[in-house]
Amino acid sequence: MRQPQVVRDVSLPERIMIYEVGPRDGLQNEQAVVPLQTKAEFVSRLVAAGLPIVEVTSFVHPKWVPQLADADDLLDLVDHTGPVPMPVLVPNERGLERALRKGATHVAIFGSATETFAQRNLNRSLDQQFAMFEPVVARANAAGMQVRAYVSMCFGDPWEGEVSIEQVVDVGRRMFDLGASQLSLGDTIGVGTPGHVTALLSAFTDAGLGPDSLAMHFHDTYGQALSNAAAALKGGVTTFDASAGGLGGCPYAESATGNLATEDLVWMLHGLGVKTGVDLPQLVATSTWMAEQLGRPSPSRVVAALSGS
């Protein structure tokens, strides 16, 4: 299988961490329920391909995300306490209680940078979301868990339009003040551009939160995900969220094409001489297999280019 020619840029980090979100964020919007055994095999294949961290599911109420109603059963089938961390999303204290019962070691909360999305997604105001998350983070930290905080709508909101950089930084700062160890900044509707990424990272640095505390979560709705990732990489970010095969999409973005494909990110990084620990051929095989399970081709350009070679 073809690999990119390596031209090392010594100004970039030597190694980055890919935070794989395919099993959770990638599958959660699938209309047809993916069988439990298929999900478990997907996770196992991703680990075998060298993904260093794989977010597997969410302890959200099945009424809201029917696809993830099997979260407890899935954790029984995967090695979620093994050497590869397998975070679970916990929307509230009830979700955290389920995670604690299953022995989860890494959890994530999911907040909003905008008032409208906080109301629609959390049924809370922008300020009220912090009161909801505070006991979750405190209990998780007390239990020795690692806690990640997602912030959505960091680059634009479908109802409010432009989102000020200052507002995003303020929300992110408050998430860290709760006790989160990492902040994932989400371009939920895929409208960000490289200059916007650079400006946001600079603002976080000025606020005392450098790129080592941040992760970036890009969507490719307008074809900007890879260029945005390159801008973040140049800005010193070393953790990137991605979804195998480009699975997933945003229900709030018209014609959303989904998450940044892990294969597309790996191809770019390997070409730059940045280490990921990921076996690209094995990952492509995994995404090709999952596309067959879902009955449609992968939207990843790299998967399309390499799956037949």
β-bridge mates for residue 187, sequence order: 218
pLDDT given at position 118:
95
- The pLDDT of 127-137, averaged and rounded, is 97
DSSP string, 231-286: HHHHTT--EEEEBGGG----TTSTT---BPBHHHHHHHHHHTT-B----HHHHHHH
Check whether 258 has a pLDDT greater than 50.
yes
Spatial CB neighbours of 270, under 8 Å, sequence gap ≥ 6: 3, 4, 6, 276, 280
The 3-state DSSP class for residue 17 equals strand
pLDDT at 252 over 70: no
Average confidence (pLDDT) over 102-119? 97
Q: Tell me: pLDDT of 255 over 70.
A: no
pLDDT grade for 251, boundaries at 50, 70 and 90: low
What whole-number percentage of the chain has pLDDT above 70?
97
pLDDT-based confidence at residue 88 (cuts at 50, 70, 90): very high
**φ/ψ (deg, to 5) at 92:** -165, -175
pLDDT of the residue at 309 = 47
- Tell me the mean pLDDT in the region 198-202: 98
101 contacts: CB under 8 Å, gap ≥ 6: none
> Is residue 265 scored above 60 in pLDDT?
yes
**3-class secondary structure, 2:** coil
| pLDDT > 90: percent of the chain | 92
pLDDT 10s digits, 5-59: 999 999 999 999 999 999 999 999 888 899 999 999 999 999 999 999 999 999 9
Count the Cβ atoms, other than its own, within 10 Å of residue 177: 11
3-state secondary structure of 184: strand
User: Which runs of consecutive H residues, i.e. helices, occur in the chain?
Assistant: 36-48, 71-77, 93-101, 115-117, 128-142, 165-178, 194-206, 225-234, 262-271, 280-294, 301-306
- Confidence label for 224 from pLDDT (cuts 50, 70 and 90): very high
d(CA 238, CA 14): 9
Q: Is 154 a catalytic residue?
A: no
Annotated catalytic residue, options 88, 201, 237, 250: 250
pLDDT of residue 29: 85
Per-residue pLDDT, averaged over 150-166, amounts to 97
CATH H-level, domain 17-306: superfamily: Aldolase class I (3.20.20.70)
Tally of CB atoms within 10 A around 3: 11
Whether residue 170 is predicted with pLDDT greater than 60 in this model: the reply is yes
User: For all residues of the chain together, what is the average pLDDT?
Assistant: 95
Residue pair 105/124 in contact by the 8 Å Cβ criterion: no
- Lowest-confidence pick of 129-133, 139-143, 169-173, 295-299: 295-299
